[in-house]
């Protein structure tokens, strides 16, 4: 696994859920500077299944890109939506 910049993560994992480990995230910034993508999936259910079947490791779970659908969508839990610039 290779450390990627946020721009690289956006390009490689656009519209995917990702679990970042060993990440660098400056306080107050809306997105991380870099990190290692440990798990990724386009579908939330697939992502959750992969997370549950793997060894628990602390990290950041987030969706990369713009979510398509309703503007009144509410994200809950330990997930956050981050839009690539």
pLDDT(3) > 60: yes
End-to-end CA distance of the chain: 24
- Which tens digit of pLDDT belongs to each residue from 34-48? 999 999 999 999 999
Residue 74 pLDDT: 54
Whole-model pTM: value is 0.76
* Rounded-to-integer distance, Cα 70 and Cα 74, Å: 9
* Rounded-to-integer distance, Cα 80 and Cα 63, Å: 7
Where does 2-84 have alpha helices with state H?
Answer: 6-12, 44-53
- Which tens digit of pLDDT belongs to each residue from 18-75? 999 999 999 999 899 999 999 999 999 999 999 999 999 999 999 998 766 655 555 5
- Residues 6 or more apart whose Cβ sits within 8 Å of residue 12: 4, 37
Task: Compute the residue count for the chain.
Answer: 85
- What is the domain partition of the chain in residue ranges? 3-82
């Amino acid at each position: 696994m290779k450390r990627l910049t946020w721009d690289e993560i956006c390009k490689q994992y656009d519209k995917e859920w990702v679990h970042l480990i060993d990440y660098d995230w400056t306080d107050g910034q809306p997105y991380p500077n870099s990190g290692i993508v440990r798990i990724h999936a386009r579908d939330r259910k697939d992502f959750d299944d992969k997370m549950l079947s793997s060894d628990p490791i602390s990290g950041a779970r987030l969706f990369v890109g713009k979510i398509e659908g309703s503007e009144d969508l509410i994200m809950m839990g330990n997930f956050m939506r981050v839009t690539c610039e």
